Amino acid sequence: MSIYDMTINELQQALTNKTFTSYELTKKYLERIAEIDPIIHAYITITADAALAAAKASDERRANGQLLSDLDGIPMALKDIFCTDGILTTCASKILANFVPPYNATCWQRLADAGAVLLGKCNLDEFAMGSSTENSAFFATRNPFDIERTPGGSSGGSAAAVSADLAAYTLGTDTGGSVRQPAHYCGVVGIKPTYGLISRFGIIPYASSLDQAGVFAKSVYDCATVLEVVSGHDERDSTSTPYPIGDYRGACRRDVKGMKIGMPNEFFEEGIDPRTIEIVNKAAEKFAAAGAEIIEVSLPHTKYALPAYYILACAEASSNLARYDGVRYGVRVDKPSLEEIFCATRSAGFGDEVKRRILLGTYALSSGYYDAYYNKTLQVRTLIKEDYDRVFASGIDCLLTPVTPGPAFKLGEMLDDPLTMYMTDICTVPINIAGLASLVVPFADIEGLPVGVQLIGAPFSEEKLFTAASAVEVPRRLPPDILEQAAEKGVER
């Protein structure tokens, strides 16, 4: 078995058995990044020296019997939206191209305190706005399973890094599907836990009532291992909850027998690729064979989730992104007056999609439209949430649905058609709107492209999701050789 294909658990055992050191392991990952990443472009910043130093420190702790956690010495990466003290954090935007945060995001601090080895910062759609990572101000990331396709977005770099073995695990963020959709496109496990489970402190905000950090990993168990470390209350985020961290690893070993799994009709309607539906049905059969009960349910307001999401997210973004004014941090375009500095800095610093969402959000919040758009959407949000409350109150343990209508699309395919691109989020956005927990686990493929299934649970029901996901998990499928793909498709490094 290649070391790149080893789970966190297997890596820890190998480190304990002195099969290799964290320093050697980290070096191996850095070598692979140097070889493969010029094709995949998962990373914006690679922190090789700091990674090797952290690995060395971990090896010393291990030798002294002072290991900090099960993640000690394991190489990982972060979406470039998490503030990292002293390390460039761009959010894939020109406006933050020179931003070096003076502090750490809480979830990164928790990983660092657990001995994590940071390999670098991963590419994303600018300010997490997008579904393909093509909205990065720097470059697009490629899907390891087909380098002519998108890895998804907005956390495309983090998903591709795990898929192509450029990190053992990564963190991303999910505002409307930005962990789950790329996990599904790249054939890795991805969780967006309940809003409030992971602190948002130090995560560059997009839409604060929807944003939540999540984990990408090579197995369900790895995902549980990381979630146990990054979760938990943080007094610096007033929306993080004091809800206790679950026994997610223990949950992976529990039996799915007797669980009630709902399949909402509205997620299997027109617009979803029949091959995707067939795959989700196969997953349902696997659940049934393992003793779970499959129950048809209805969430009647599902079709309104997508327009509601884009109004809410854009409205919150227009307010959140007001902070980029060229005064306190970021790139300033110098002009004679302050007003001109604001306009010139923002107009040059933001990309098209970001400007579009700021304009939409400002429009929805502007006088005369506030009630028709924003307030109406908040009411629709209530109705969507009540659909889920009803289903979970009826005794359903979790829901099983597609993640997106089809597998990964081609790079450039939807670039000029934002609305069609937004439609790929149709199955993922309701979960953020209702504040639920959701996990994507790879299950099958369509013409070689990975297809996952989405499990959705009530708030703070992550343990149930881990139990269910472990029951349908299949052995990890590796992408075809990246260098061979590049040679075949004429993609240059």
Partner 1 sequence: MGITVNDVEYVAKLAKLTISEEEMDGYIKKLSSILDYMQQLQEIDTTGVQPTTHVLPLENVFRADEVRPCLPREKVLTNAPDTEDGYFKVPKIL
Q: Which residues are catalytic?
A: 79, 154, 178
CB-CB contact of 181 with 405 (8 Å)? no
Q: Which stretch binds partner 1 (CB under 8 A): 62-70, 150-158, 183-191, 367-375?
A: 367-375
Please tell me the distance from the alpha carbon of residue 293 to that of residue 393, in angstroms, as a whole number. 16
Does an H or E element contain 310, and which?
helix 305-320
Does 404 engage in binding with partner 1 (CB under 8 A)?
no
Return d(Cα 161, Cα 180) in angstroms, integer: 15
Residues 123-152 close enough to bind partner 1 by CB under 8 A: none
Nearest to 245 by CA among 309, 194, 190, 184: 194
Residue among 193, 202, 435, 442 that touches partner 1 (CB under 8 A)? 435
For partner 1, the binding residues in 159-178 under the rule CB under 8 A are none
405 contacts partner 1 (rule: CB under 8 A): no
Of 59 and 266, nearer to partner 1 (C-beta) is 266
Closest contact distance (angstroms) between CB of 106 and partner 1 is: 15
Say which DSSP state 19 is in. Answer: S
* Number of residues engaging partner 1 in binding (CB under 8 A): 67
Asked if 382 is part of the footprint of partner 1 (rule: CB under 8 A), the reply reads yes
Phi/psi of residue 103, each to 5°? -155, 170
Measuring CA to CA, how many Å separate 148 from each of 370, 405, 493? 41, 19, 14
Minimum distance, C-beta of residue 105 to partner 1, in the bound complex (Å):
14
Could you tell me the smallest distance in angstroms from the CB atom of residue 374 to partner 1? 9
89: number of Cβ within 10 Å:
23
From 155-163, 276-284, 304-312, 472-480, span contacting partner 1 (CB under 8 A): 304-312
Q: Is 337 in the site for partner 1 (CB under 8 A)?
A: yes
- 153/452 with CB nearer partner 1: 153
Among 13, 16, 366, 394, binds partner 1 (CB under 8 A): 366
State whether residue 166 is helix, strand or coil: coil
Give CA–CA dist 464/397, Å, rounded: 7
- Residue 375 is a binding residue for partner 1 (CB under 8 A): yes
The answer to the question of residue 192 lying near partner 1 (CB under 8 A) is no
State yes or no: residue 304 binds partner 1 (CB under 8 A): yes
Question: For residues 43 and 35, what is the distance between their CA atoms, to the nearest angstrom?
Answer: 13
Among 378, 415, 446, 478, contact with partner 1 (rule: CB under 8 A): 378
* Stretch in the footprint of partner 1 (CB under 8 A) among 110-118, 136-144, 233-241, 475-483: 233-241
* 88 in contact with partner 1 (CB under 8 A): no
* ω into 461 cis (within 30 of 0): no
Q: Tell me how far apart the alpha carbons of residues 183 and 455 are, in angstroms, rounded to a whole number.
A: 13
CA 457, 69, 46, 144 torsion: positive or negative?
negative
Report which DSSP code applies to 266. Answer: G
Q: Which amino acid is at 491?
A: V
Amino acid identity, residue 90?
A: T
Q: Which amino acid is at 38?
A: P
Among 23, 169, 310, 392, binds partner 1 (CB under 8 A): 310
487 contributes a contact to partner 1 by CB under 8 A: no
Nearest to 458 by CA among 195, 99, 212: 195
> What is the CB-side half-sphere exposure of residue 247 using CA atoms within 13 A?
4
Closest separation between CB of residue 210 and partner 1, Å?
9
- In the complex, the smallest distance separating the C-beta of residue 347 from partner 1, rounded to whole angstroms, is 4
Does position 422 bind partner 1 by CB under 8 A?
A: yes
Residues pairing with 146 in the sheet: 143
Ordered DSSP codes for 438-480: EEEEEEEEETTEEEEEEEEESTT-HHHHHHHHHHH--PPPPPP
Looking from the CA of 40 toward its CB, the CA atoms found within 13 Å total 35
Taking the complex as a whole, how short is the minimal distance between the CB of residue 242 and partner 1, in angstroms?
10
| CB of 32 or CB of 346, closer to partner 1 | 346
Q: Which listed range, 3-11, 138-146, 167-175, 321-329, lies at the site for partner 1 (CB under 8 A)?
A: 321-329
Determine which residue in the list 9, 69, 241, 281 makes contact with partner 1, applying CB under 8 A: 241
Q: 343 or 444, CB closer to partner 1?
A: 343
How many separate helices (H) and strands (E) can be counted in the chain?
17, 11
Binding test (CB under 8 A) with partner 1, winner from 53, 362, 446, 473: 362
Cβ density class 296-305: b for 16+ within 10 Å, e for less: ebebebbebb
* DSSP state at residue 416: T
Q: Is 350 in the site for partner 1 (CB under 8 A)?
A: yes
Residue from 99, 260, 281, 390 that binds partner 1 (CB under 8 A)?
99
Is residue 298 within the footprint of partner 1 (CB under 8 A)? Answer: no
Instruction: Point out which residues bind partner 1 (CB under 8 A).
Output: 98-100, 102-103, 195-196, 209, 235, 238-239, 241, 301, 303-304, 307-308, 310-311, 318, 322, 325-332, 335-339, 341-344, 346-347, 350, 355-356, 358-360, 362-363, 366, 372-373, 375-383, 385, 418-419, 422, 434-435, 459
